[in-house]
Structure 1
Amino acid sequence: MNLKENATKNWKDYLMVGVGSIITAGSINIFLVPYKIAPGGVSGIATVLYYVSNGKLPVGTTMLALNIPLFLLGMRFIGKKFVLKTLFGTVLLSVIIDLTEPFTNTFVKNFLGESGSLINSQDILLYALFGGFLMGVGLGFVFRSGATTGGTDLAARIVTHFFPVLTMGETLLLIDTSVIILAAVAFKSFQLGLYAIVTLFISSKVIDAILEGVNFAKAVFIISDLSDQIAAKILIDLDRGVTALDGTGMYTGNKKKVLLCILNRGQMPMLKNIVKDVDRNAFIILADIREVLGEGFKTYE
């Protein structure tokens, strides 16, 4: 990658961090903090402190203050490569949360109902769902750019540095669960803890979808004595490539060709009909594929 391409990529990465931070701030200010939904992480701790202090500790400022020691430890024990983009994302998110709070508070009061008013469980569930979705979209953009917004992912890296027996996933789950329990105790509401779990689950799934792709495809393995005929019809009728793998039936010891083909979901009925017409005794094994890069599918970025 030449200097110009590298500069363009960095510019796009920082732009994506900015957009992701704005979306994440919106989810926190509009759907989560007003209704005491604290889905783990630094934002969850900041939400608890905001209410415990009767609003004297702004959420954004508190998040930034909590992240400072994490950054110092991260630079010392993990390395400095991640620092610039992550620092940018962390500071930007904290600033946007505090700057937009007056506007989002007005929006919440006028359109969603005051946080102190009586709101039924269905309403809060909707806020938990939409808050989790928007947070997942925002953080997905940030993570895809190679940055983070600090918080539990940074804390998890530090913990696994000292305790390598723990995986990143286990550490993140432990930290987020602890924060949710803290919020449930502070707000004296088991129900709010459950809503926070819903938000955390939705956001994690959306993040995965953004990072790994949503263009699902199917990987098909076909085991048949008539594999050549099946492959020929797939090549012609479906216009899809087929790869033959060498296989051995362990019961009979016979050599067989195992066909591997990647298809769009809409082509599955046609493939099943092709195999059925050629060999009703064939085995078909289907597997979900998250993302496919190459000819006929998604192009390389």
Structure 2
Amino acid sequence: MLKKHIDTYYYIVRLFFILLGVVLASVGLEIFLIPNDIIDGGVVGISIMTSYLTNLPLGLFTFLLNVPFFILGYKQIGKTFAFLSAFSVVALSIGVSILKPIPGITHDILLASVFGGVILGIGVGLIIRNGGSLDGTEMVAIILDKRISFSIGEIVMFFNVFILTSAGFIFGWDRAMYSLITYFIEFKVIDIIVEGVDESKSVMIISDKHKDILSAINARLGRGVTILDGRGGYRGVQTNVLYTVVSRLEVSKLKRIVHDLDEKALVTIGNVEVAGKKYKKRAIH
């Protein structure tokens, strides 16, 4: 019963911070970027351009264009991620619709690019850190990451170069270049909030239930796990240590897996650079 209450509290806190992130993202878009014809990357950027060309509400397109990715994310990544992402996008669609009548607070394009990028980056960072996503291209990148050697960050960058280039034909090349400035600022702020979009993390787990945890990591994350023989330095007791490498987006889920199986498990997480051929995870069917 206690565990159920803790889990409920945990998800309420996550939803709160996701909602806060959505508010900030909405402000960054409608108060700074869109009034100055500056776009974001990903599906939001496509939505901004489509809204401009059709004169239909931005919120409509941010929702409709993400629907296929919700379905894909639910089938390929997991229902929790898909639900939190759907919640984020629906809330963003409502947020930008509410803020639409409010005029932008600056028409200085450089100021709008910088402050819009910072505010949007904080918002998106909070959403990603708490397990959600505003961008269907990120879901595609996570899925493709299981099957090809390119990183999530590289795949997202490929999409965004195409999207920002398209903005040059619609809004003019000066606006496309300002959009690029915004994108890099946003990306850096996200990096500060969530320690990198595609940063690899090394994880060591010490637990008496190491076999169950190993099986769960294989089944639910598709990551390989190495079993190390260890000995306690104080009591000299033999123990098994699990070692694995995951992406930053998987850290939260891994911690929940370990916590659900053994609340007393010791988990250490550190940044790691993966050299050579990129580590691959098997596809989960």
Interval containing the TM-score (normalised by the shorter chain): 0.5 to 0.7
SS at structure 1 position matched to 2:133: coil
CA RMSD, 1 decimal: 2.1
Q: How many pairs are equivalent? A: 197
Q: Does 1:160 align with 2:145?
A: yes
Q: Distance in 1 between matches of 2:89 and 2:74?
A: 15
1:1-301 correspondence runs (5 A): 2-53=3-54, 55=55, 57-102=56-101, 104-105=102-103, 108=104, 111-113=105-107, 123-161=108-146, 163-187=147-171, 189-212=172-195
- Structure 1-normalised TM-score? 0.61
Q: Distance in 2 between matches of 1:79 and 1:13?
A: 17
SS at structure 2 position matched to 1:44: helix
CA displacement, residues 30-56 of structure 1 (integer Å, 9 cap, x when unaligned): 111111111311111111112212x2x
CA displacement, residues 36-91 of structure 1 (integer Å, 9 cap, x when unaligned): 111311111111112212x2x21111111100011112223333231221111111
Q: Distance in 2 between matches of 1:180 and 1:96?
A: 23
CA displacement, residues 188-229 of structure 1 (integer Å, 9 cap, x when unaligned): x2211111111111111111111239xxxxxxxxxxxxxxxx
Q: Distance in 2 between matches of 1:44 and 1:80?
A: 25
SS at structure 2 position matched to 1:174: helix
Amino acid at match of 1:176: N
Identity %: 31
Q: Distance in 2 between matches of 1:192 and 1:155?
A: 27
Question: Kindly tell me: are residues 126 and 148 of structure 1, through their superposed partners in 2, closer, same or farther at Cα, counting changes over 3 Å?
Answer: same
SS at structure 2 position matched to 1:81: helix
The 8 Å contact of residues 31 and 99 in structure 2, kept in 1 or not, is answered as no
Q: Distance in 1 between matches of 2:49 and 2:177?
A: 15
Unaligned ranges ≥5, structure 2: 197-269, 272-285
The 8 Å contact of residues 124 and 190 in structure 2, kept in 1 or not, is answered as yes
CA displacement, residues 203-261 of structure 1 (integer Å, 9 cap, x when unaligned): 11111111239xxxxxxxxxxxxxxxxxxxxxxxxxxxxxxxxxxxxxxxxxxxxxxxx
Amino acid at match of 2:127: V
- Find the structure with the greater CA-based Rg: 1
Q: Structure 1 residue 129: deviation in Å?
A: 0.4
- Structure 2-normalised TM-score? 0.64
SS at structure 1 position matched to 2:80: coil
